[in-house]
Structure 1
């Protein structure tokens, strides 16, 4: 949960790097919260809560994704490749699961900093 809250605190920070663990824990909690809001939508028949949740989480998710791409040595603009149907999502997934590169233009390796 701390990774999700930490990402929300840095919701508009498109600088720096995010480790794989931070990114995937954020993604896990996002999916859980979205599933809960979608279930509430179905139960109430209003279908608004999950849409509001997705809109509120749009910028933090883009920010987290940019920081994850920075950790692999790529610009946050690589997120735009996700607009290409199917292939874009596969390429992004490959980028997201890659290990951190050592210090790069986006900062020092957060994995090395955490282990020190």
Structure 2
């Protein structure tokens, strides 16, 4: 079932307040809103807010993985039990772990807000724990367009 795209309201600052979803959010605004709403699980997030962050997160993760692989290859030693990465890999791996820890909770919050925009319960984010099919179901739900009934998750003046 297809729902009409909600109309973008014009706010005094040019973008909606943090409690409202930002439909058609440009790349910088989506990333800025992600960090401003670090642990906000209430409210809604538009598809653009969600997918711009997914792109940024994936790009940073891939770049860090490539750097870790290259750094680990330099000075690596091969033993009978396997290959030991070079010493340059450790700082990059620490940075990769720090990135994952710093973005885990806010990414979870953004996914919950995206589910709210489709008028789904935020608890459906737990589908990600079901191997393969859960992640696929969650992917489909984040791709779906906004549902006007999702306004029930809005809290004007909050967050």
TM-score range, shorter chain: 0.7 to 0.9
Please state which structure has a larger fraction of its residues in helix. Answer: 1
2:68 is aligned, of 21, 36, 41, to 41
5 Å-filtered alignment, 1:26-37, equals 26-37=53-64
Work out whether residues 4 and 26 of structure 1, in 8 Å CA contact, stay in contact via their aligned partners in 2.
yes
Uncovered stretches (5+) of structure 1, i.e. residues with no partner: 109-116
Q: Give the Cα–Cα distance (whole angstroms) in 1 for the partners of residues 101 and 65 of structure 2.
A: 14
Matched, 1:65 2:92: no
Runs of 4+ in 1 over 6 A off after TM superposition: none
Q: Which has the larger radius of gyration?
A: 2
Instruction: Give SS of 2:96's match.
Output: helix
Q: Give the Cα–Cα distance (whole angstroms) in 1 for the partners of residues 124 and 65 of structure 2.
A: 29
Q: Deviations over 1:36-80 (max 9, x none)?
A: 222232223112211110011011101100100000101211000
RMSD value, Cα = 1.5
Q: What is the aligned partner in structure 2 of residue 4 from structure 1?
A: 31
TM-score by length of 2: 0.64
The number of aligned residues is 108
5 Å-filtered alignment, 1:50-89, equals 50-89=96-135
Q: Give the Cα–Cα distance (whole angstroms) in 1 for the partners of residues 39 and 121 of structure 2.
A: 16
Uncovered stretches (5+) of structure 2, i.e. residues with no partner: 1-27, 72-87
